[in-house]
Structure 1
Amino acid sequence: MNAATTREQLLSHAQTLIRQRGYNGFSYRDLADRVGVKTASIHYYFPSKDDLLIAAIDDYAAQEAALIQGIDATLPANERLQRYAALFEGTPADQVCLCGMLAADFASLSDRARQAVRAFFHAHETWLAKVVADGQRDGTLAWSGNPETAGRYLSAAFQGALITSRLFHEPVRIHDVVASLQVGQRAA
């Protein structure tokens, strides 16, 4: 197993464990068992669990940012919002958003990790606010308040929908968030 592959596997399995159990719900031993390495090998790549956490957040945030940037900005706002919701489809039923799970562990995170989680949410809220502003202009989204508030609302609603989808085994809940803005077609 080469170094890049081992590091990538450690990050991938750490993200899965965090999304399933939370930051405090796994150890280097759990991770070592999943990857098939000794815990000393994990310390080689990530000297502390916080180093592992920061790398996991950064990697996850970069993956999510790439997916969001892949949504065509020329589409009507309601379609962009639907595509954003579709990003959550196919998520394993036993997992939620990595940063959403970490938000629940916020009090036990380092300042560095807290800043990274905040940055993740801020990026999503900002993107969602822009989509809502565009939707107000193009008439495809119904929101009477300011777009920044909508961005915060939608981010929280999507996170809540992920959690309750997991709880009730009802993936459709994520689309309830989109429906809350009365997504519709502009009258011709």
Structure 2
Amino acid sequence: MDTPASTSTRQQLLDYAQTLIRTRGSNGFSYRDLAEHVGVKTSSIHYYFPCKDDLLYEAVEAYSARALQAVRDIDTALPAREQLHAYLSLMESHACASNQEMCLGGMLAAEVGSLPERVRGALQGFFRAHEAWIARVLEAGATQGTLKFNGTPESAARAVFATIQGCLLVSRLFEAPPRLCEAISAIYVQSQPAGGTPAG
């Protein structure tokens, strides 16, 4: 059983691994980088994460759990249009903490060819959970008459989440805010107050 000290070391390693993945990708860092930052020997890292595949899997799971909890905390009593805007604002403020950090999911998706199957599965689960949440909100918005889109809620949700990931990537390139609300409203989702005129 882990002691408080060992748990703290494990968490430090996991937290910094997520930062490195978001800034460099999965192939852009080594256990030596982790060891130097946390102040342990590389052999100690192997105690917690026997191989890098184990570390990547745990990093995806930890990041996914934290990100999805933040999404689930959005008040479901809000009108669908407001839930969607709250989600986009959340992604703008947290998914890209700085111009140097990408969403961990988007960064690893670009490297999917080199990822082990277990990590790929966890990453797919992260994407599908976001898409399912967006689809639910889009369907509710269509019923409320405040969100309009082409196709099914599921296909529109996939398009919305893909656009979000693309916006985050481009915002990093140009060192500019993602402007997700603007992009989603302009391309995929027509958002309007009930009984009103279209609004962004």
The TM tier, using the shorter chain, reads over 0.9
Q: CA deviation at 1:173?
A: 2.4
Q: CA deviation at 1:149?
A: 0.6
Q: CA deviation at 1:182?
A: 2.4
Give matches, 1:109-188, under 5 Å. 109-180=115-186, 181-187=189-195
Task: Say if 1:20 and 1:96, in contact at 8 Å, map to a contact too.
Answer: yes
Identity %: 48
Query: What does residue 37 of structure 2 align with?
Result: 34
Query: What does residue 103 of structure 1 align with?
Result: 109
Q: Give a deviation string over 1:84-118, Cα, whole Å, max 9, x none.
A: 11112152211111011110110000010110111
Task: Say if 1:22 and 1:102, in contact at 8 Å, map to a contact too.
Answer: yes
Amino acid at match of 2:104: L
Q: Give a deviation string over 1:25-53, Cα, whole Å, max 9, x none.
A: 11001111111211111111100001101
My pick for the range that moved more, 101-110 or 177-186, is: 177-186
How far apart, in 2, do the equivalents of 1:176 and 1:40 lie? 48
Helix, strand or coil at the partner of 1:94: coil
Matched, 1:70 2:56: no
Helix, strand or coil at the partner of 1:25: coil
RMSD, matched Cα: 1.4
Query: What does residue 25 of structure 2 align with?
Result: 22
My pick for the range that moved more, 144-153 or 83-92, is: 83-92
* Structure 2, unpaired ranges of 5+: none
Task: Say if 1:73 and 1:80, in contact at 8 Å, map to a contact too.
Answer: yes
Q: How many residues are paired up? A: 188
Task: Say if 1:94 and 1:166, in contact at 8 Å, map to a contact too.
Answer: yes
Helix, strand or coil at the partner of 1:24: coil
1:12 aligns with one of 12, 15, 18 = 15
Q: CA deviation at 1:58?
A: 0.5
Q: CA deviation at 1:172?
A: 4.1
